[in-house]
Amino acid sequence: MGISKKNISLLTLFMVLYYVCITWIVHRSGYEHTESLFYAEKLKLLFEAKQNQLVILGTTFPSMVFLSNLIFIPLGYLFAPVAASILVMSILYYFILRNHLSTKLPMNIYVPMVTALFMFHPGMVFAAVSGRSIAMVLLFFYLVYRSFFNYYRSQTTFYLSLSSIYL
């Protein structure tokens, strides 16, 4: 039995809602991670400081994680890093399920297994609800390994295959 792209999108939306509920429970009890607080403070300095906005923007490392937090500033400085990590983990979940559509392996085992992994594995839940950059690292390494496997299956050059990560 196959699964459609629409069902994968609905499962991804369910995963976002699940992570938001877990985040609400965890942060209501007073948990804030130091890396999340660092990004929140940098975001606040970027928009409320009178000088050196370019220095703040250019020297915050890792920059992709910091720039992904900029999207969620309307949700608040403290919740922006957490919302970014929730979004990135949900994108990773979507990519994993979506890439499995091209294989001939049965989806009735794979989808529940991946869903259970993302819902109940403490490392995956922590990466989603803590606001750390772990989610971006997981997504990046998944895209790198996926490009390696695409490189070995296709007739493209290695550099073209690696450049497909950024497209």
Q: In Å, how far from its chain's centre is CA 143?
A: 12
What DSSP assignment string belongs to the chain? ----HHHHHHHHHHHHHHHHHHHHHHHHTT---HHHHHHHHHHHHHHH-SS-HHHHHHH-SSHHHHHHHGGGGGG-TTTHHHHHHHHHHHHHHHHHHHHHTTS-S-HHHHHHHHHHHHHH-HHHHHHHHS--THHHHHHHHHHHHHHHHHHHHSS--HHHHHHGGG-
User: What domain count does the chain have?
Assistant: 1
Q: Tens digits of per-residue pLDDT, 85-124?
A: 999 999 999 999 998 887 787 888 899 999 999 999 999 9
Tell me, yes or no, whether 38 lies in a domain: yes
Residue 155 has a pLDDT of 73
pLDDT per position as a tens digit, 119-161? 999 999 999 999 999 999 999 999 888 877 777 777 777 777 6
Predicted pLDDT at 153: 74
Q: Tell me whether residue 29 is in a domain.
A: yes
pLDDT of residue 87: 96
Residue 166's pLDDT band, with cuts at 50, 70 and 90, is low
Whole-number Å distance between alpha carbons of 56 and 32: 22
Q: Is the pLDDT of residue 167 over 70?
A: no
- Verify cis geometry, omega within 30 degrees of 0, for the bond prior to 122: no
- For residue 119, the model assigns a pLDDT of 97
Q: Is residue 149 part of a domain?
A: no
Query: Does a structural domain hold residue 164?
Result: no
Encode pLDDT of 37-92 as tens digits: 999 998 998 888 887 777 777 777 778 888 899 999 999 999 999 999 999 999 99
Distance of CA 142 to the CA centre of its chain: 11
Q: Is residue 71 part of a domain?
A: yes
Residue 146 lies in a domain: no
- Domain assignment present for residue 49? The answer is yes
Answer whether residue 18 shows pLDDT above 60: yes
- Which residues constitute the domain of residue 40? 5-133
39 in a structural domain: yes
